[in-house]
Amino acid sequence: MDLKVAAQNAALETVSTEEAVRALIRDNVTLSDKAKKRLQDYQMDLNHRSTAWQRLSMETDLDILSGLLFEWLETLKHPLLDVDSLSYIVVWSSKPQRCLEKLPGSNRYLLEYLLRFISRLRPMTQECQSLITKRFMAALTQQSIWMKSAFYPSSRNFQKLRRGTAAKLNEFFIRMMNLVEEVNTQEMEKPWTLKLDLVSGQLEEMETEPVDETSS
């Protein structure tokens, strides 16, 4: 069976933004045993069989796709956003372009790709965007973050992301997504008022979360 031809001939399956959001913010520890087994099989095959990548291109299970993404991000030898990167972001969170200039090229491109993906999930409520942003913050820094009344990801022995650092990183993510959206739409003046309101709302939410100042 030619997987590439089969993928081209298959009807495209669409999902709602809500379905995508649910899969992205799910903690892998809550997956069924069957789903966990599939994740393990995929990880093994992707490392040893070239055909696994073709199979992955046809995968439509959102839990599997998001699970693989976070498994990869959370098990990298070094987090995409390490201590040095977070230091730059804390200082320059309001100037995303300047922050990006300080990041390694490969990390910069991957971060921009992920934020472009998040920004294209529409329509999405402020609450959903906040949850997705936090989920990626945890994965990209390999530190746990408070969301939905618990620290995520619960299955990792990560240190806790400090509240102040989380607030700055959140601001950077939102401003970066704003920048990406402006470039995509070529609307250079339009959305700053609404976008800054979104930033303010999420920063206020950060202020209400549990304080943990023992880690950086």
pLDDT value for 158:
94
Which pLDDT band holds residue 71 (cuts at 50, 70, 90)? very high
User: What mean pLDDT is predicted for residues 48-72?
Assistant: 91
**DSSP letter string, the chain:** --HHHHHHHSPPP---HHHHHHHHH--GGGS-HHHHHHHHHHHHHHHH-THHHHHHHT---HHHHHHHHHHHHHTSSS-SS-HHHHHHHHHHTT-HHHHHHHS-HHHHHHHHHHHHHHHT--S--HHHHHHHHHHHHHHHHT-BEEETTEEESTTS-PPBPPHHHHHHHHHHHHHHHHHHHHHHHT-SSSSHHHHHHHHHHHHHHHHTSPP--S--
Mean pLDDT of the chain: 83
pLDDT in tens, 8-19: 555 567 888 889
User: What mean pLDDT is predicted for residues 148-160?
Assistant: 90
pLDDT above 50 (res 42): yes
pLDDT in tens, 168-198: 999 999 898 888 877 666 544 444 444 445 5
- Nearest CA to 156 out of 88, 76, 57, 61 is that of 76
pLDDT in tens, 194-210: 444 554 555 555 555 55
